[in-house]
Amino acid sequence: MANHLYQNDLPDGLDLGPIVAIDCETMGLNPHRDRLCLIQMSGGDGNCHLVQVSKGQTEAPNLCAMLENPDVLKLFHFGRFDIAALYNTFGALTAPVYCTKIASKLVRTFTDRHGLKTLLQDMVGVDISKHQQQSDWGAETLTEAQLNYAASDVLYLHQLKSAFDVILEREGRTEIAQSCFDFLPTRAKLDLAGWPETDIFSH
């Protein structure tokens, strides 16, 4: 496994393949207040590519081209937040997408534990550390521990997706899952537009 850290954008010509696992680190959980600091990506080959975002940055052409590429599936765990953070920062709406947290909630109805650490332990047999989760991602220089933590959030998502695909098919929920994934970019836009806690489908 190798981590490749870039400043402000992905390098020209980098092809991460047809399915790219993505996660973001921010200064907090309010996308209007807390800036996007780091985007980590993996093509499922054991390598992680990380883009450190400068304060005030609003453009990342190579990254955005990949986010909006209809031929590249973007793989998230709780994509709702990451899609909103990316759209709020760069104006690029990520699609198409797949979210392992949504998949978990659709088929792991026997539990309320849908965090990435739990899912990787239960379904992939991998134990990741969450020690750096609340560290300062806005620091000018990120530590090796921070980079390794960030990488761990994307390195196993391809395996997790494969495991969920089997169970979704077994339980007859593949189609409803796909509909949820398709709606996710719109859900992220609703969050940013002022409806983060409102169920617009309720009476």
Q: Is 111 helix (H, G, I), strand (E, B) or coil?
A: coil
Report the C-alpha gap between 22 and 151 in whole angstroms.
10
Q: What is the DSSP string of 156-180?
A: THHHHHHHHHHHHHHTT-HHHHHHH
Peptide bond preceding 18: is omega within 30 degrees of 0, i.e. cis? no
Q: Which domains does the chain have, with CATH numbers?
A: 3-193 (3.30.420.10)
Digit-coded pLDDT (tens) for 136-166? 999 999 999 999 999 999 999 999 999 999 9
> What is the rounded average pLDDT of the residues 31-41?
96
Report the C-alpha gap between 62 and 44 in whole angstroms.
19
- Please list, in sequence order, all residues whose beta carbon lies within 8 angstroms of the beta carbon of residue 28, skipping any fewer than 6 positions away: 34
pLDDT of residue 51: 98
* pLDDT > 70? residue 131: no
pLDDT of residue 132: 62
> Any idea how long the chain is?
203
Digit-coded pLDDT (tens) for 178-192? 999 999 999 999 999
Whole-model pTM?
0.95
- Burial label, 33 (beta-carbon count in 10 A; 0-12, 13-18, 19+): exposed
